[in-house]
Amino acid sequence: MNIKELLKASRFKMIALDDDPTGIQTVHGCLLLTDWSEENVQRAFQDEADFFYVLTNTRAMTAAQASEVTRSAMQAILKANQDFNYRLIFVSRSDSTLRGHFPLETNVMHECLEACGIDRLPLTIFAPAFIEVGRLSIDGVHYLKDGDKLIPVNETEFARDNVFAYHHANLQDYIAEKLGGKAFAYERFRKGEKLENLKTYIEALQNNEPAFLTVDADTYDDLENFADCLLQYLSQDERVAVLRTSSSLPKALSGIENKDLLSKDELIQGENLHQGLFIVGSHVKKTTAQLEKLLQCPQVQGIELSIEDILYRSDELWEKLQAELIACDAAGLTPVVYTARKEVRLDNADERQALGQKVSDFLVSIVARLPYQPAYLVAKGGITSHDILTHGLNIKLARVMGQILSGVPCIRTDNSARFAHLPYIIFPGNVGNESSLAEAFEKLK
């Protein structure tokens, strides 16, 4: 049986708890929940797709908040499944550059399964490869591919993240660092290995919690091979698996077909008298380079927001910004609203999270108060795109359309959103090359 047939035959439902809104960047056709009310979770279980995503957005939260939110989502899902009795596979979908609350979130997932008396594999499968954008796990080491070069991720800017810094690209050493010296069991599933190898690793790990199985992958063939082995194992074993992944393994586990990148006609349906709108909140080096290229495009108007104005003069800033947006739109220009590129340095992670939230709140207010419906909306960066999704556009549940560029997902809002039937493009901060934002604009204009 192929993966799709295995999912159907064993009544599997894969559920990805996503710590950032960009995790749907490889999939299509499934539901995305930003609210795990009983009604929404039941709709997701009733949906024809064999998988769905729950956007927890925990990467933008403190550790305590992340734990609470993950537990809340898990409890809602497990309670709803009592009416459906699906075989569940839980994915903690996170960053391909190893940033996020790890192993906190997978620990909470295991705890929730234990509390409900659900038999589980007492280990976490760790597969951070993101094939589409060159995040590759080779011989137990995780790399970022840049042109022809493979750069260990601990040598990139992402390893120096203000909140989630780390020092190792070797995944066993990375796990050791994140466990703070606590002993753990470890095995590695290598390229080309089969079901018998997986059984051997699980048997070696299952009496030695905490335990981790990493997955080598530098192609989709590697991930599809592992997905096939895992589903075969689970179909015989009956226990629930918990995985920590980036965006590629969930696609392999879902069994969906590849889909072409979305065309302009698929994205923008019917006439719209207004221009689109870009909102750029991410501050990583790649985003800044992409922003510079976008601002060079004809028919684009950049509008820079200072952090000081957002923090201390937000009312005056909004009045000025609103006038600029209306003037741009009337002139046939696409406004690109972005925060000043200079990063504000603060002493601790909680202060940095709080500052980021204040900036995000202002960016959200732009969408909430915008006096016209744009032809489309592009949000750049994880915190920005999440808060616009949930608070600016008021989306509780949506269908994933696909991708406009590799790794760049799009959803369409429903009638209950702030702007109905709006193409909303979620552009990850660390995806694409220097021209990617400009390419998205050229495709949409």
For 188-244, write each residue's pLDDT tens digit: 999 999 999 999 999 999 999 999 999 999 999 999 999 999 999 999 998 999 999
Report yes or no on 423 lying in a domain. yes
Measure the CA–CA gap between 189 and 139, rounded to whole angstroms.
Answer: 9
Residues 272, 237: one domain?
no
* List of residues 6+ apart from 281 with CB closer than 8 A: 338, 339, 359, 360, 363, 379, 380, 381, 383, 384, 385
Rounded to an integer, the average pLDDT of 158-179 is 96
Contact, 129 vs 169, CB < 8 A? no
Residue 32 sits in which domain range? 3-254
pLDDT digits (tens, 9 = 90+) for 351-389: 777 777 788 889 999 999 999 999 999 999 877 888 999
Q: Which two tokens stand for residue 222?
A: 């590697």
Coil vs helix vs strand at 119: coil
Domain match, 68 and 124 both: yes
Specify whether 223 is located in the same domain as 276.
Answer: no
What's 417's domain CATH number? 3.40.980.20
- Pairing between β-strand 240-245 and β-strand 277-280 as defined by DSSP bridges: unpaired
In terms of DSSP bridges, do strands 423-427 and 377-380 run parallel, antiparallel, or are they unpaired? parallel
Dist CA 324 CA 303 (whole Å): 8
pLDDT higher for 385 or 159? 159
Give the tokens for residue 429. Answer: 């901060």
pLDDT number for residue 312: 86
Relative to beta strand 141-146, strand 135-138 is antiparallel
d(CA 355, CA 347): 12
Query: How big is the CA angle at 375 (ends 370 and 376), to the nearest 5 degrees?
Result: 85
SS3 345: coil
Which residue among 204, 222, 254 closes a domain?
A: 254
pLDDT at 350: 74
Per-residue confidence (pLDDT) for residue 170, from 0 to 100: 99
Angstrom distance (rounded) from CA 91 to CA 109 = 9
| Contacts of the segment 346-353: beta carbons below 8 A, 24+ positions apart | 346/162, 349/62, 349/162, 349/163, 350/62, 352/162, 352/163, 353/60, 353/61, 353/62, 353/163
Query: pLDDT tens, 2-33?
Result: 999 999 999 999 999 999 988 999 999 999 99
Q: Return d(Cα 407, Cα 95) in angstroms, integer.
A: 12
Over residues 170-181, the pLDDT tens digits come to: 999 999 999 999
**Average pLDDT value over all residues in the chain:** 94
Burial, 252: exposed, middle or buried (Cβ in 10 Å; 0-12, 13-18, 19+)?
A: buried
Q: What is the rounded CA–CA span in Å between residue 319 and residue 321? A: 6
Q: State the pairing for strand pair 87-93/240-245.
A: parallel
Asked if pLDDT for residue 343 goes beyond 70, the answer is no
Same domain, residue pair 67 and 176: yes
Q: Name every residue whose Cβ is closer than 8 Å to that of residue 253 and which is 6 or more positions away in sequence.
A: 3, 14, 51, 89, 91, 227, 230, 231
Q: What is the pTM of this model?
A: 0.89
Residues forming beta bridges with residue 334, ordered by sequence position? 300
| Amino acid 66: pLDDT | 98
pLDDT of res. 71: 99
pLDDT at 126: 99
- Specify the amino acid at residue 380: K
Among 220, 236, 254, give the residue marking a domain's end. Answer: 254
The two most distant CA atoms of the chain are separated, in Å, by: 67
Judge if 209 and 326 occupy the same domain: no
Judge if 232 and 270 occupy the same domain: no
Indicate the helix (H) or strand (E) that contains 111.
helix 104-115
Asked if residue 234 and residue 168 are part of one domain, the reply reads yes
> What is the DSSP annotation of 169-203?
-BHHHHHHHHTTT---EEEEEPTT--HHHHHHHHH
Of 254, 288, 309, which residue constitutes the final position of a domain? Answer: 254
**Is residue 249 located within the same domain as residue 345?**
no
Kindly state whether residues 192 and 291 are assigned to the same domain: no
pLDDT the model gives residue 346: 65
Over residues 419-444, mean pLDDT: 91
DSSP conformation letters of 229-282:
HHHHHHHHH-PEEEEEE-SHHHHHHHTPPP-PPPPHHHHS-S--SS--EEEE--
Closest by CA to 392, choosing from 279, 251, 230, is 279
235, 88: one domain? yes
Tell me, yes or no, whether 122 and 248 share the same domain: yes
Of 47, 130, 69, nearest in space to 95 by CA: 130
Q: Are 246 and 130 in contact (CB under 8 A)?
A: yes
pLDDT average, residue stretch 281-298: 90
Quick check: is 259 in a domain?
no
**Would you place residue 165 in the very low, low, confident or very high pLDDT band (cuts 50, 70, 90)?**
very high
User: Using one digit for the tens of pLDDT, what is the confidence trace for 54-100?
Assistant: 999 999 899 999 999 999 999 999 999 999 999 999 999 999 999 99
How big is the chain, counted in residues? 445
Is a pLDDT exceeding 80 seen at residue 341?
Answer: no
SS3 content of the chain, % helix, strand, coil (to 5): 40, 25, 35
CATH number of the domain encompassing residue 216: 3.40.50.10840
The CA R_g of the chain, rounded to the nearest whole Å, is 21
